[in-house]
Amino acid sequence: MSYDESHLSARRRPLSRLTLTLAAAAVVPGAFAGWLIWQATGGSDDGGPAGLPAQGASASASADPSQRPGSSGPEPRPSGPESPSKPASGDDAAPGDARPAPGDGPLAGRTVVIDPGHNPGNFKHTAEINKLVDIGTNRKECDTTGTSGNSGYTEAEFTADVSQRLRTLLRKEGATVKLTHENDRAWGPCVDERAEIGNKAGADAVISIHADGSAAGNRGFHVILPALVKSGGADTSKIVAPSRDLGERIAGNFVRTTGSAPSNYLGGGTGLDVRDDLGGLNLSTVPKVFIECGNMRDTKDIALLTSADWRQKAAQGMADGISSFLNR
């Protein structure tokens, strides 16, 4: 399972292309230019047929990555660093970070929280991450192990790498950037704590980075938006609209920088999916989205996810979308 929680009972609310196109034209005409061109030309010629996502592929994965299901063919190992060195905490500069002087840059004074999906230690702490926490609407697991490619490259490795690349890019724009974790803890944090980190930071934008674990042939990225939820401790009424704006800008720029097509199995070709079952969104009081960058179980998508060059493009697309949202 690639999300921070199980989606076995998720309600899908696919958006029409017409609705999204009109919204894009009104809100972010520049960001969606690449997307509209892709749709006008009939889409990617290497996208697989639409299908249903595999359910529970990683939520019930063994603590040992080598015991996960194999594949029918070889899979590339990641290029570039697979396990990024642990950077400094908070907004202290990490090795290689280049930032403008305080107060400089178009994002000066803005705070962005990046949530790297899952923790590589979750596999060794299944009892802890299976503990139920309150997500407002009900109680769900603290977290999941995340998914992996068929050759063992884990979602947690991928998200840590992309998150650090994204932080560097946003810092260069002058933003204050915080990560929910930096592989500096044995497991977690739980999904409710991840949401609270963004809330306490008073973040102007939060992005939770993931990769999917669906069936082979299911390809492409999708951005998950919060649904309108008012239940228990959850009230997303104030963040639904700005989160949609943030998600649309990230999706459009992700297409432009990576060349990847929107998901062929979720979102009706829009690259957007609305959900009401994710605690990380339900409990957020600041604009927040999830992004599933690709399917780790598809041979073509995993070839992208394991490429350092592509991961840099992915981070750039996210940074451009966030910058566009914060400078709107």
Active-site residue flag, 128:
no
Check residue 60 and give left, alpha or beta (phi > 0: left; psi -120 to 50: alpha). Answer: alpha
State the distance between the two ends of the chain, measured CA to CA, in whole angstroms. 34
What is residue 184's predicted lDDT score, i.e. its pLDDT? 85
Give residue 99's pLDDT: 65
pLDDT tens-place values along the chain, 328 residues long: 444 333 433 334 444 443 433 344 343 444 444 444 344 333 333 333 333 333 333 333 333 333 333 333 455 656 554 444 444 444 544 444 556 665 689 999 999 999 999 999 999 999 999 999 999 999 999 999 999 999 999 999 999 999 999 999 999 999 999 999 997 899 999 999 999 999 999 999 999 999 999 999 999 999 999 999 999 889 999 999 999 999 999 999 999 999 999 999 999 999 999 999 999 999 999 999 999 999 999 999 999 999 999 999 999 999 999 999 999 9
Q: Is 219 helix (H, G, I), strand (E, B) or coil?
A: coil
pTM of structure: 0.76
Longest CA pairwise span in the chain (Å)? 53
Under a CB-based contact definition with an 8 Å cutoff, are residues 253 and 261 in contact?
no
The predicted pLDDT at position 71 comes to 38
- Domain at 17-41+111-326, CATH class: alpha beta
pLDDT score recorded for residue 67: 32
Query: How many other C-beta atoms can be found within 10 angstroms of the C-beta atom of residue 30?
Result: 13
Catalytic residue among 75, 157, 173, 292: 292
